[in-house]
Every structure is written in C-alpha cells, then in structure tokens.
Amino acid sequence: MATGRTHRPATRSRGIPEATVARLPLYLRALTALSERSVPTVSSEELAAAAGVNSAKLRKDFSYLGSYGTRGVGYDVEYLVYQISRELGLTQDWPVVIVGIGNLGAALANYGGFASRGFRVAALIDADPAMAGKPVAGIGVQHTDELEHIIESNGVSIGVIATPAGAAQQVCDRLVAAGVTSILNFAPTVLTVPDGVDVRKVDLSIELQILAFHEQRKAGEEAGPDGSAAATAARAAAVAGDRKGPDGDMPAVMPA
C-alpha cells in the first residue's frame, strides 16, 4: 500500500468542483452502508435520498468521475465504493499526527473510524511533559519537541490540531515548516497558512450557534405576527451579547 507522501488525490487535476468533492464522502458513507448489507446495485434516487442530496445533483457529481450508471439497473455499489475511495485518496495509507491530547485530542485518538477509512494515527503529540509516554488509544504520547522528527520519520502530510486557541497558530507553523500540507483544525481560531496548504476547520460552537439561529427562526414563526417574534429575537441577541468565549467575544461568523 502506498504511503501518504507518495501520491496525492487526483481531484483537482481532474477539475472536480470543490462542492462535488465535499459531497463525495456523503456518497461513500451511504454506499458503504449498502455494501455492508450486500446490496449489489442502487438507483440514483435511492442513493441521493440516503446521502441527503437530490438525484440530479448526484448524477452531475458522478459524471465528473466518469460514472453514469446503467439505465434500469442503476449504479454498481462495489465499483462506486472503489471509485470514490480512489478519488478521495483512501486506497492508500495516510499517516496522521494529532497535536494536543486533552479531552478532545484523546477522543479523536480513540475514534475507530480512522483506520477503516485509510488514515493511520502515526503519533500523538502534546506540550505537557507530564503527558510524555502515557498511552492513549494504545499509542504513547510524545512531546512537541519531537514534532519535526516525527513528521519526517513517518512521512506525515496530514496534521490534526486539537490544542487551545492560543497555541494553534504556532503548532500550525511548525507542522507546515516540517512538511505537513493538510491540516484539520479543531482549535477555536482561524489559522493562517501559505499557499499550497489546505485547512479544514471543525468548530462545534459555530455549528451550535447556527442551529440556535434556526431554532430562533422557528420559534419566531410559531409565535405569529403579534410582535412576540421580535421579542424572541431581541432576547436571543441579548443572550448572545452576554456570552463570552475563552478568548473573549465570540465572532458571529468564523470563516473556514
């Protein structure tokens, strides 16, 4: 099996739109579930419903992969699993380092879905000397002093940052300088990276705020046109104004 540094996914060179790339994991998850049930074929309508998209968008997305299905039969499930896995780069081994082994970092280390999807946790790294050598998910935690050596010796190109916000940029800079070109950021801050480095941000508080917005809208619609919806919005705004994060005011919008 190839290692992460040997090949890069071909999606960009083949001109697949980023929006399509973002939906490919959804299709793969639905297809994997079908495969586990030994379902041989699936129609575009069935697969689209399982993935939460419309069938026309699905067919357009698959056309970028050169997969058009068979009229009256649908798509071959196993072939699509292979095709999407290959396009996403999941048919090779991707060594990953996780930096910041607090509660979140430890939970990520214990997540069993990495290995089954082509990702191998090569190292767990933390700045606390007291953590050095402690096993988490069967892997001994290593100190950040060893970060560059770990990346080089394991051929790591993907890093996961689960540190506090104040340490995230410095960790990011060291990862990039050591050769990491893709970063998954769980720290509640926006990272600055050079061209050629991809960052995906996961911020649970932002997602909850978006859900709160929709809940507020639904509450306002249920309240009716008697003015109570405006009062609901005002109360929500007051609560949001009083809420502070660990680093000060929470921004209303945090770009990915």
Q: Look over the chain and give the mean of its residue pLDDT values, rounded to a whole number.
A: 84
CA angle 40, 42, 48 (to 5 degrees): 145
Do 133 and 140 meet the contact criterion of CB atoms below 8 Å apart? yes
pLDDT higher than 70, residue 58: yes
Average pLDDT over residues 160-181: 97
pLDDT higher than 50, residue 54: yes
What pLDDT is stored for residue 118 in this prediction?
A: 80
What pLDDT is stored for residue 204 in this prediction?
A: 85
Which residues pair with residue 94 across a beta bridge? 119
Kindly report which listed range (114-128, 213-227, 242-256) carries the lowest average pLDDT score. 242-256
pLDDT higher than 50, residue 253: no
What pLDDT is stored for residue 225 in this prediction?
A: 59
DSSP per-residue letters across 206-234: HHHHHHHHHHHHHHHHHH-TTTHHHHHHH
Q: Is the dihedral of CA 46, 47, 52, 58 positive or negative?
A: negative
3-class secondary structure, 123: strand
Distance between CA 100 and CA 198 in Å, rounded? Answer: 19
What pLDDT is stored for residue 224 in this prediction?
A: 62
Selected residue with higher pLDDT from 147 and 240: 147
Average pLDDT over residues 198-220: 91
Model pLDDT for residues 14-35, shown as the tens digit of each residue: 588 999 999 999 999 999 999 9
Structure tokens that stand for 146 in this block: 């060893």
Q: What percent of the chain has pLDDT over 70?
A: 81
Average pLDDT over residues 55-74: 88
Average pLDDT over residues 216-224: 80
Model pLDDT for residues 178-199, shown as the tens digit of each residue: 999 999 999 999 999 999 999 9
